[in-house]
Amino acid sequence: MNEIAVVILAAGMGTRMKSRTPKVLHKVAGRTMLGHVLATATELNAARLVVVHGPGQEGEMVAEEAHRHTPGAALTEQTERLGTGHAVMQALPALQGFSGTVLVLYGDVPLLRAEILRTLLEKATRAPLAVLGFEAADPGSYGRLILSTDGEGLEAIVEAKDATEEQRRITLCNSGVMAVDADLLRALLPKLSNDTAQGEYYLTDLVALARAANKPVALATCEEEEVLGVDDRLRLARAERIMQHRLREHAMRGGATLTDPDTVFFSFDTEIGRDVHIGPFVVFGPGVRIADGVIIHAHCHIEGAQVDTGAQVGPFARLRPGAVISSGAKVGNFVEIKNATVEEGAKVNHLSYIGDARVGSNANIGAGTITCNYDGFLKHHTDIGAGAFIGSNSALVAPVKVGDGALVAAGSTITRDVPADALAIERAEQRNMEGHAARYRERKKAEKARRGK
């Protein structure tokens, strides 16, 4: 296969998104659409990668995202948005000296997978221009692909508004994605005309120009969902549904059980081991690794966290960035863990907040316990030793250390270190006032009767 350069067109304004965020920076499965396209381009081992972005602050945001994902990408600005052909013209200086195949992708087409593009690129080894098409359920405004008489190559692309009645019945449509020999691209781009209704230069006109020069044009096809372009919030939601279906299928084929797959939402980078059981209504944000044999009960939210072999989480638990749940540990209902390690066999079973802390192996955290990690200015660490027992409704005011095997009595506020194997109690002495409850009730009944009169 020829050396590859990838040009990603990401200068569209996306007015139908009705957003201050550039269209290509809206997210699908926790990653920007541009990020998905860049990741796919990286899989192809492209020799050069060029991102064409728009002007102004929005363009700067797109450029920043491109460099965050792919620091080696070349960036070029399309100051005037004069169509796809014009956008590719802006990429030519970054392709100087390149003599392989140029693959043109779009920053708002996040679902297109590398294996489809490899098929297109293989076609481009037998023709100087190859176009990616699809069978549309509703061809609508898509450009129609007119096949050559042998049915193998492409004769022309006809825009819907210019198509005859017979051509409009064609369901084979243009995705806009194409692979073109670099030398042919340089020869044909200057011949594009902007004599169109919008005064724009269309990249699709390369097909007619190539055929006029007696150059063959190859065709590769894919499923419609692969080339779904996102130009409004409805299509963004559709792209999310398709991506989630792929991620769920990948998890289940990898050995995970999803009780109700349609209610589980993954991030693009979620790692799920074998024999993992995931209950309904579980959401994974970016940066999650789940090891083998983990049980995640219903209604959990997990982001930036690691859950090791055989641990249990939930129901209704939240693991925030920096949470590490070690092998055999348990994090129960309405528990929040942030930037903290719960070591092997430890239990945080009910209604607790553990932040900026270590919970030692086999320690037990009682219901309603919180680590008071923030003093209004800085975060501080709490260290709970192995085998320690923290009674219910305790507050551990960081920085503080509870030693191995220590006990903290229920309802205590701990502000000083607790030595290993010690018992810490911090609460007022209990007083029992005999008969007070009965006298209180009688007094209140009498008061209520007076007010009733």
Q: How confident is the model at residue 159 (pLDDT cuts 50, 70, 90)?
A: confident
- In this structure, the answer to whether residues 312 and 184 fall within a common structural domain is no
20 and 143 together in one domain: yes
Tokens of 301: 């939210």
Q: Report pLDDT digits (tens) over 332-365.
A: 999 999 999 999 999 999 999 999 999 999 999 9
Structural element, H or E, at residue 36:
helix 33-43
Whether residue 273 contacts residue 291, with contact meaning beta carbons closer than 8 Å, is answered with yes
Whether 363 is in a domain gets the answer yes
The beta strands (E) that lie in 107-242 are given as 129-135, 144-147, 154-158, 172-181, 217-222
Give the model's pLDDT for residue 150: 74
Asked, for residue 442, whether it belongs to a domain, the answer is no
Cα angle 225, 230, 233 (rounded to 5 degrees) comes to 115
Residue 105's domain is classified under what CATH number?
3.90.550.10
Q: Which tens digit of pLDDT belongs to each residue from 170-204?
A: 999 999 999 999 999 999 999 999 887 778 899 99
In a domain, 65, yes or no: yes
112 DSSP assignment: -
- Boundary (domain end) residue, out of 176, 208, 227: 227
Domain stop point among 227, 245, 268: 227
Residue 432, domain member (yes or no): no
Q: Is the pLDDT of residue 5 over 90?
A: yes
**Residue 205 maps to a domain:** yes
Could you tell me the two tokens for 439?
């006298």
Query: Which of 197-206, 392-401, 424-433: highest mean pLDDT?
Result: 392-401
For residues 220 and 249, membership in a common domain is answered with: no
Q: Is residue 431 part of a domain?
A: no
pLDDT bracket for residue 279 (50, 70, 90): very high
What is the residue-averaged pLDDT of the chain? 95
Q: Are residues 377 and 400 in the same domain?
A: yes
Contact (Cβ atoms closer than 8 angstroms) between residue 372 and residue 355: no
By annotation, the residues acting in catalysis are: 350
Average pLDDT value for residue range 211-231: 96
**Domain co-membership, 214 together with 294:** no
State both tokens at 304.
């930036």
Would 452 be classed as within a structural domain? no
> Which residues face 359 on adjacent strands?
342, 384
Pair 203, 291 in one domain: no
* Dihedral sign, Cα of residue 411, residue 414, residue 418, residue 424: negative
Q: What is the pLDDT of residue 324?
A: 98
The answer to whether position 439 is within a domain reads no
**1 falls in which pLDDT band (50, 70, 90)?**
low
Instruction: Report how far residue 244's alpha carbon sits from residue 127's, in angstroms, rounded to the nearest whole number.
Output: 36
109 plus 162 within the same structural domain: yes
Q: What pLDDT band is residue 161 in, cutting at 50, 70 and 90?
A: confident
Question: Are 50 and 162 found together in one domain?
Answer: yes
Residues 253-275, mean pLDDT to the nearest whole number: 98
The pLDDT assigned to 197 comes to 73
Residue 453 has pLDDT above 70, yes or no: no
pLDDT digits (tens, 9 = 90+) for 11-40: 988 899 999 999 999 999 999 999 999 999
Same domain, 209 and 242: no
Give tens-digit pLDDT for 230-246: 999 999 999 999 999 99
Q: For the stretch 225-251, what's the b/e string if a residue is b when 16 or more beta carbons lie within 10 angstroms of its beta carbon?
A: bbbbbbeeeeebebbbebbbebbbeeb
Of the listed ranges 166-170, 180-184, 247-251, 288-292, the one predicted with least confidence: 166-170
Is the pLDDT reported for residue 452 higher than 90? no
The span from the CA of 136 to the CA of 142, in Å, is 9
Q: What is the CATH number of the domain that holds 277?
A: 2.160.10.10
Average confidence (pLDDT) over 389-407: 98
Residue 92: what are its φ and ψ, rounded to 5°? -60, -40
CA 117 centroid distance within chain: 22
Side chain identity, residue 150: D
| Domain total of the chain | 2
Query: 85: domain range?
Result: 4-227
Is 28 in the same domain as 155?
yes
Q: Which of 195, 227, 259 is the last residue of a domain?
A: 227
Give pLDDT tens digits for 98-146.
Answer: 999 999 999 999 999 999 999 999 999 999 999 999 999 999 989 999 9
Q: 201 and 241 in one domain?
A: no
Residues 207 and 343 in one domain: no
d(CA 438, CA 444): 10
When pLDDT is averaged across residues 416-433 and rounded to a whole number, the result is 95
The candidate with the shortest Cα–Cα distance to 23, out of 103, 121, 109, 140, is 109
Euclidean distance between CA atoms 351 and 332, whole angstroms: 8
